Structure 1
């Protein structure tokens, strides 16, 4: 394909992303489902050139920024508090699913070597960070359940990749060592943590010395790829290196970044992540055409591979339920024996956790890296696609419905302070600072208006904190009038600019001021 044609195809895909995303919102489907199915449908349009998703490029292009985005916005306190449960899913559930799939595949396809069966298990075992993010955006979950799913999706790819590499080596060489595999896993994980911390330290050193906002945003964007590539270059886990770097950035960005960098950077980053996330699913759908052509079409798949496909899909889903409910049963038993720290999820949350196991880009990319000499390679590719489609389309589409039916209860204790109380504490600190600087050394009041405004603001917020619901009923009408006034001011600004009375620079500066003021009002309204 000519480079210009490739660029035109990318533009067409982006236009398709907008259309499919809009359609998904209109009919109430998760966007990931619409993009995946839409990409698969577009791939079979006559005359459309085939699109091959390079597996190495897919991992290094899509995975680091999407992992970084998840880690950056992770609630670190909950992540640390629920780390044992996260590791149980990210390591234990992945290993258990790998073994279960390997056993089932060898039973259904006896001619496939054991190591190859477990390689397939490693391919389909880790739920995908991209799929989880895409599906969970539209649902509300209890805080503990959300922490478990987000944390699992950040770490389980590392487990799956390590298992896959050892299974492939064992298949091709006929040699496998459990001790070597375990020690290698811990080395890769620990090395990834070290690399992530080192990259984060360099990032903080550099960003503190940059004064240009655009350069800071660019440095923040590049760090995900730097951490991932650095980890892979020294042969440790690039996934864990990226996650660690993202957690560090999320923790320190409140201290290091100016307010404008956070606002501008967040807008840029959200757009970038949206584009990458959408392209992932539409390209997965596009890749289906190449795989089906390779194995002889849909007829060959239904005739020779239907039973193994169905067996693996059911095993992937059931193995997760077995692990989740088995772990929760163990926690219940331990709590019954007097271990107060053991806190089972309960039937409702465990059901949602068991069903939320969508696969995606990592499963596909790893499957595409299978060596050509790998026994059963075509079968593995088709099964990987089937697992992705089944989990994203079926589980992703029905997850919101399941949550509404099950209604999982948030069992985590609430924070000690509400948002209203936090706002009152901030207003008190601001007022104390104004009180300290409103007077000259001789006691003369030099900032009377500022002091009056600060005291009035503190009084309003304290009344709001005392009874937020009652206060907001009256405050909303006040904010509505302010927004009407802002709209009138913006209309007048545009009128005098269109009349040629002010320069474009004045328009942009004043419009920015109005936008910031409007954003503040909208946030205060709670919209």
Structure 2
């Protein structure tokens, strides 16, 4: 019963954090508020959440990484793929090796494999925390795409490195050759497993839907089970469940394009996944806060592992790790961006000061968050022989400190760097977009014309088919004329104004609908039906 109660308190804290974040007069990111609320829970109850590493990893990471892979914009990722790969793979390897040796040198009591494990968990970045920080100062679109792509890949690469570091700590040995071969299997089989599970699940549910109809609840439940199925199957064959969850999400994008489905099901599924993402991300930060009182109360024993007596040495170690991470990231980001998006004419359009701000903002956006906490909590409790895992509490304490310090630093520094910041524009796909709009509009006219002709030939069909078909086709012809008779900028301006007018119309409809319902001129059933239609229209236009 206590476990159920604490779970409900954690979820309530996530809800309250959203309200508190909006109420605060200053911009404080939601993760910091959630950590504070978690600390309040930890101080106000004698019950403590005992986190099982394997269970924690299974419950939290697969759905979050799956959703990241599913929703990340694939075209934008492909355009800046070289930059993303350099940050997500090259920087992670540099961080694990460089910071691993640095941490071991700084804290000799922490064995080298454990230092590598700590470096691996602090290497992934968290774009969700960055978005929360920059809520009042929007991040340039291209920078956010790069950060999202980097986070998606470095989550997987960092956790794979963590796996090897833990294996070295448990066995007491490490072979580069064996590790390379094992990495090929772990990565390749993990990626393949995620794709296979997604394709099998989506094809099966598409076949069932064609035969017996589509059930929205079942469709949503299948999408929720896919990341767990991919993770568990990959782990069963000793591959990377993390990479399987990521590849399953990426494959979901392409599988959905070919399988279709009902629009209502997709809208409901998006709402469910939004709620799950909000809850899981929030619960992880609340859990961090809930663990803080215990971590701080054990600080004297934890710092004693390092050979010191003052708990302030823990703060020194945290600041040193944050400084080392920042220095490595700044140097790597500077080199990477100047070799890619800041090179040539794209970069020459920015002044030297602006280019430096781009590099600095991208560096400070490397905030540690959900994956860092989830990763460090998966450190085993004991070694193979049953003895306690060396320096586990110290690693958790330092990782928690890195998360909090990086969040606080970014909270104050990142908005200043982002104010008025511009980046080299992304390659324009306007011509392709307009061609696609023309093609689908023409296809719609052909389909409507065929249906209209079939109704005309059917003597039992209603006689209004010609007028109804012409009205709909007129809308598509108007769209085609707008696309062929104006340039891209004019089209975009028209689209913006038309969307604004449509939203004004929908909101006026809703106001009148409320008046009719309040005056009892329409029943509640009609009111709900029309209100749902207006909600769908407004969601469409807002999107």
Contact 1:127 1:359 in 2 (8 A): yes
SS of alignment partner, residue 453 of structure 2: coil
User: What's the offset of the Cα at 1:230?
Assistant: 1.5
TM-score (norm 2): 0.82
CA distance in 2, matches of 1:66, 1:274: 10
User: Among residues 231, 247, 250, which one is paired with 2:250 in the alignment?
Assistant: 247
CA distance in 2, matches of 1:320, 1:370: 29
CA distance in 2, matches of 1:242, 1:494: 49
Question: What does residue 381 of structure 1 align with?
Answer: 396
Q: How many residues align?
A: 506
Contact 2:137 2:419 in 1 (8 A): no
Relative to structure 1, the CA distance from residue 516 to residue 165 in structure 2 (aligned partners, 3 Å threshold; closer, same or farther) is same
Contact 2:230 2:248 in 1 (8 A): yes
Question: What does residue 43 of structure 1 align with?
Answer: 42
Deviations 1:34-85 (A, max 9, x none): 212332344223x453233333222111111111211111112233343333
User: What's the offset of the Cα at 1:259?
Assistant: 0.9
User: Among residues 322, 325, 342, which one is paired with 2:334 in the alignment?
Assistant: 325
User: Among residues 113, 122, 125, which one is paired with 2:123 in the alignment?
Assistant: 125
Question: What does residue 325 of structure 2 align with?
Answer: 316
Relative to structure 1, the CA distance from residue 421 to residue 37 in structure 2 (aligned partners, 3 Å threshold; closer, same or farther) is farther
CA distance in 2, matches of 1:130, 1:522: 23
Question: What does residue 165 of structure 1 align with?
Answer: 163
Residue 22 (1) aligns with residue 29 (2) = no
In structure 2, stretches of 5+ residues that fail to align are: 304-308, 346-353, 383-387
Relative to structure 1, the CA distance from residue 120 to residue 484 in structure 2 (aligned partners, 3 Å threshold; closer, same or farther) is closer
TM-score (norm 1): 0.85
385-394 vs 107-116, greater mean Cα deviation: 107-116
CA distance in 1, matches of 2:434, 2:73: 20
Listed as ranges, the matches of 1:202-281 within 5 Å are: 202-208=200-206, 209-210=208-209, 211-256=214-259, 257-281=261-285
User: What's the offset of the Cα at 1:449?
Assistant: 2.3
Question: What does residue 448 of structure 1 align with?
Answer: 466
476-485 vs 430-439, greater mean Cα deviation: 476-485
SS of alignment partner, residue 217 of structure 1: helix
Question: What does residue 56 of structure 1 align with?
Answer: 54
Residue 353 (1) aligns with residue 351 (2) = no
SS of alignment partner, residue 430 of structure 2: coil
CA distance in 2, matches of 1:478, 1:89: 42
Deviations 1:185-208 (A, max 9, x none): 222110111101110121122211
Contact 2:189 2:240 in 1 (8 A): yes
Relative to structure 1, the CA distance from residue 470 to residue 123 in structure 2 (aligned partners, 3 Å threshold; closer, same or farther) is closer
Relative to structure 1, the CA distance from residue 35 to residue 471 in structure 2 (aligned partners, 3 Å threshold; closer, same or farther) is closer
Listed as ranges, the matches of 1:68-83 within 5 Å are: 68-83=66-81
CA distance in 2, matches of 1:439, 1:49: 72
User: Among residues 180, 184, 187, which one is paired with 2:185 in the alignment?
Assistant: 187
Question: What does residue 339 of structure 1 align with?
Answer: none
User: What's the offset of the Cα at 1:24?
Assistant: 1.2
User: Among residues 430, 434, 441, which one is paired with 2:444 in the alignment?
Assistant: 430
User: What's the offset of the Cα at 1:418?
Assistant: 8.2
Question: What does residue 154 of structure 2 align with?
Answer: 156
CA distance in 1, matches of 2:496, 2:328: 48
CA distance in 2, matches of 1:471, 1:129: 30
119-128 vs 295-304, greater mean Cα deviation: 295-304
Contact 1:69 1:246 in 2 (8 A): yes
Contact 1:66 1:273 in 2 (8 A): yes
CA distance in 2, matches of 1:472, 1:323: 39
Contact 1:75 1:147 in 2 (8 A): yes
Relative to structure 1, the CA distance from residue 34 to residue 309 in structure 2 (aligned partners, 3 Å threshold; closer, same or farther) is same
Deviations 1:278-327 (A, max 9, x none): 11111111112222233338996634433322211211222111221233
User: Among residues 5, 9, 15, which one is paired with 2:6 in the alignment?
Assistant: 9
284-293 vs 73-82, greater mean Cα deviation: 73-82
Question: What does residue 340 of structure 1 align with?
Answer: none
Question: What does residue 342 of structure 1 align with?
Answer: none
CA distance in 2, matches of 1:170, 1:298: 23
RMSD of equivalent CA atoms: 3.4
User: What's the offset of the Cα at 1:396?
Assistant: 4.9
SS of alignment partner, residue 125 of structure 1: coil
Contact 1:39 1:282 in 2 (8 A): yes
Relative to structure 1, the CA distance from residue 189 to residue 515 in structure 2 (aligned partners, 3 Å threshold; closer, same or farther) is same
User: What's the offset of the Cα at 1:255?
Assistant: 3.8
Contact 2:302 2:394 in 1 (8 A): no
User: Among residues 66, 69, 86, which one is paired with 2:64 in the alignment?
Assistant: 66
Question: What does residue 292 of structure 1 align with?
Answer: 296
Question: What does residue 529 of structure 2 align with?
Answer: 512
Relative to structure 1, the CA distance from residue 30 to residue 90 in structure 2 (aligned partners, 3 Å threshold; closer, same or farther) is same
Deviations 1:246-283 (A, max 9, x none): 11112232442211111111112211221111111111
Deviations 1:209-255 (A, max 9, x none): 14222111110111111111221221111111111111111223244
Relative to structure 1, the CA distance from residue 7 to residue 89 in structure 2 (aligned partners, 3 Å threshold; closer, same or farther) is same
Relative to structure 1, the CA distance from residue 302 to residue 346 in structure 2 (aligned partners, 3 Å threshold; closer, same or farther) is same
SS of alignment partner, residue 419 of structure 2: helix
SS of alignment partner, residue 357 of structure 1: coil
Question: What does residue 33 of structure 1 align with?
Answer: 32
Relative to structure 1, the CA distance from residue 421 to residue 381 in structure 2 (aligned partners, 3 Å threshold; closer, same or farther) is same
Relative to structure 1, the CA distance from residue 270 to residue 113 in structure 2 (aligned partners, 3 Å threshold; closer, same or farther) is closer
